[in-house]
Amino acid sequence: MSKFEKTLVWFRRDLRSFDHAALHHALSQSKQVYCAFIFDTAILDDLPKADRRVEFIHASVLELDAALRKLGGDLIVKHGWTETAIPELAAELGVDAVFTNHDYEPQAIARDAQVAKALKAAGRGLHTCKDQVIFEKNEVLTLAEKPFSVFTPYKNAWLKKLHAESDAAVLHPYEIDTYSDRFASLPEHKYPMPSLAELGFEKTNLSDLNIPTGMQGGQDLLDDFAGRMQRYDQTRDFPAVKGPSYLSVHLRFGTVSIRSLVRRALDGMRTGTGGSGAAVWLSELIWRDFYFMILFQHPRVVGHAFKPDYDAIVWESDEHAQTLFKAWCDGKTGYPLVDAAMLQLNQTGYMHNRLRMVTASFLIKDLGIDWRWGERYFAEQLNDFDLSANNGGWQWASSSGCDAQPYFRIFNPITQSEKFDADGKFIRRYLPQLSKLSGKHIHAPWRVPAMELKMAGVELGSNYPLPLVQHDEARALTLQRYAVVKKVAEFVE
C-alpha cells in the first residue's frame, strides 16, 4: 500500500534517472510522483556569465528530462530561490511530501533546513536519503566511536563495513523502472525549460573541449576507462598520458552512480580484469567518502585549518603577494609545469590531479600565499569543483588538514616536472613557445645556455617569464614560516 498520494522528487547533484535513492523511495511509497530541478539563484548569481558548469548542468538536465519522459514522467525546471521555489511548487502540485538526497555542505544543510521548515508549516514533510556516497556521517567510526581523521584506518574500516554488510546489498542499484507507472505527467509546456540565455548565461567552449555531458556521457567515460583501469596505478600521475577516468565532473553532478563505480572497481579486483589499478581507483573513490565525512563532521574546515595551530601561520598578503598570486593564476610563474597546469585549468576547467598537488604546493610553499586564496580560485575554475574534495586537497597541500603531508615536505616543481612530464609533452601542449626546447631543458628554461634559448626562440622575460622565486630560497622561507606551528604546539604542551 502506498504511504503517500502524491510526492515531489527534488533533483540536485544527482542528475540521473537510474539507481537514484530519493527517486526510488518516492516511487515505492507514492501513487504519483512529480520531479523537479531548480536553477538556484543563490548559486547562479555569484557565477560568471560564461560558466562551463552551468552549461554542463543545463545539458544534463535536458537529458534527464528526456529520460523521465520515456519513463512516463516529466521534469519541472524552474529558476529562482530554492528556499521558496520548492515549498511553492509542492503547494501548487498538492503533494504530501518532498524527497531529495542528502547534501553535506554547510550552506546546503542550512538551505535544506529552511525548506523543511517551510514544508512543515504547510503540513508537508522533507524526506532525505543517502545517495552520493557509500558511507556517510557516522557510519564509519573508530573503535572509540569517533570520526576518523586519518585516511588509511578509515579506508580499512570502510572496507570492513562494506564486506560485513555484504557489498552486494550496499551497492545494489535502486530500482526505478519497476515503478514507472507511478510517474505523474503534466500538460505539455506548463513548465518550459529555461534556455541558457534565459538563465543569464552564455555558451562556453564545453563542446569544443569534447566534454561529454549527462548520463550517456558518464556511461561512455566509464566504459572507456574500464579498458584502462588495470593500468590506472601506473598512468594516473602522468598528465600527458590518458590515465584518469575523467569521471570527476560526472560524480560531482551525479550523472553517474557512485555505487556502480565501486561495483566496477570491486569486479575488476575479484576477476583480475582490473589489474593492480582497480584497487588504487577504489581507494580514490574511498577518499571521496572520507572528505565528505570530514566536511560533515567538521564544517569549520570551510575557512579554517583542520589543525587549528596552522591558523597561526602568517601568509604573504601585501601588494607584491597580490602580484605573485595573479601570476600564478595566469600561468606566468616561470616554472613550466606549474604554468602549463594553470593554463590547462583556465582553458578547460580541468586539472590533472598530480598537477593540483604541484600547483597548490607552489602557491603555498614557494610563494608563501594563503591556501584559501588558491582554494577559492580553484572553486571558481574547476568543472568538477566539490567543496569537500577541494578543501581537503588544499589543506593537504598546506599541511593544515587531516592526514596531510608534513609541513616540511615541499614539492620541487622542477623535479616534479622531470619525473612526471619527462619529455615535456604536457608542457608543450600549453606552452608552445617552449616547444623547441629539448626534454632536458624544458623544465627550467632559465638554466638553459643563452645560445640554445635563442635557437629555440625563447626570450626569457619576453615570451616566457623568468621565475618568480628561486625554489631553494623559497623553501627556506617556508620552513621559517611554518616554525610557528611547532612553537604553538610547544606552548600548548
Q: Are 386 and 362 in contact (CB under 8 A)?
A: no
Catalytic residues: 284, 287, 315, 353, 371, 394
3-state secondary structure of 384: coil
Three cell numbers at 419? 619525473
* Residue 394: DSSP 8-state: H
Buried b (16+ CB within 10 A) or exposed e, 389-398: bbbbbbbbbb
Whether the predicted model's global pTM rises above the 0.85 cut: yes
How far lies 57's CA from each of 38, 62, 211, 249, 359, in Å?
Answer: 11, 9, 12, 10, 27
8 Å CB contact between 254 and 13: yes
> Per the structure block, which three cell numbers stand in for 354?
598530480
H-assigned helices in 236-316: 248-253, 258-271, 277-297
Instruction: Show Cβ contacts of residue 85 under 8 Å, excluding neighbours closer than 6 positions.
Output: 38, 78
Neighbouring residues of 278: CB distance < 8 A, sequence distance ≥ 6: 229, 230, 232, 265, 266, 268, 269
Which three cell numbers, joined as nine digits, stand for 178? 519497476
Q: How far apart are CA 325 and CA 331, in angstroms?
A: 10
Residue with grid cell 582490473, as numbered in its chain: 274
Domain ranges of the chain: 4-131, 133-172+214-297, 308-492
Amino acid in position 141: L
Collapse the DSSP code of 5 into the 3-class scheme (helix H, G, I; strand E, B; otherwise coil) and give the result. Answer: strand
Residue 11 parent element (H or E): strand 4-11
Q: One fold for both 4-131 and 133-172+214-297? A: no
Beta strand ranges found along 57-134 (DSSP E): 76-80, 97-101, 125-129
pLDDT at 493: 31
Sign of CA dihedral 10, 16, 18, 21: negative
One digit per residue, the tens of pLDDT, for the chain of length 493 reads: 689 999 999 999 999 999 999 999 999 999 999 999 999 999 999 999 999 999 999 999 999 999 999 999 999 999 999 999 999 999 999 999 999 999 999 999 999 999 999 999 999 999 999 999 999 999 999 999 999 999 999 999 999 999 999 888 999 999 999 999 999 988 876 888 999 999 999 999 999 999 999 999 999 999 999 999 999 999 999 999 999 999 999 999 999 999 999 999 999 999 999 999 999 999 999 999 999 999 999 999 999 999 999 999 999 999 999 999 999 999 999 999 999 999 999 999 999 999 999 999 999 999 999 999 999 999 999 999 999 999 999 999 999 999 877 888 899 999 999 999 999 999 999 999 999 999 999 999 999 999 999 999 999 999 999 999 999 999 999 999 999 986 544 433 3
Q: Which one, of 357, 356, 355, 362, lies nearest residue 324 by Cα?
A: 362
The conformation of residue 213, written as its DSSP 8-state character, comes to -
pLDDT number for residue 487: 58
User: Grid coordinates standing for 312?
Assistant: 597561526
8-state DSSP, 362: I
Instruction: Provide long-range contacts, Cβ within 8 A and 24+ apart, for 90-94.
Output: 90/8, 90/119, 90/122, 90/124, 91/122, 93/6, 93/8, 93/34, 94/6
Give the β-pairing of 125-129 and 97-101.
Answer: parallel
- Cα atoms in the Cβ-side hemisphere of radius 13 Å centred on 250: 22
Q: What is the model's pLDDT at position 490? A: 40
Q: How far apart, in whole angstroms, are the C-alpha atoms of residue 310 and residue 398?
A: 9
User: Which three cell numbers, joined as nine digits, stand for 184?
Assistant: 505523474
Tell the burial category of 146 from Cβ atoms under 10 Å away from its Cβ (0-12, 13-18, 19+): exposed
Q: What is the pLDDT of residue 1?
A: 64
Instruction: Please identify, in words, the CATH class of the domain defined by 4-131.
Output: alpha beta
Residues contacting 84, CB < 8 A, separation 6+:
118
The CATH-assigned architecture of domain 308-492 is: Orthogonal Bundle (1.10)
Q: Is-contact 131 292, C-beta < 8 A?
A: no
d(CA 282, CA 274): 11
Tell the residue number behind the cell numbers 573508530, with chain if given.
Answer: 142
**153 Cβ contact partners less than 8 Å away, ≥ 6 residues apart:** 142
Write down the pLDDT at residue 306: 96
133-172+214-297 is classed CATH 3.30.950.10: no
- Rounded Cα distance, 219 and 176, in Å: 18
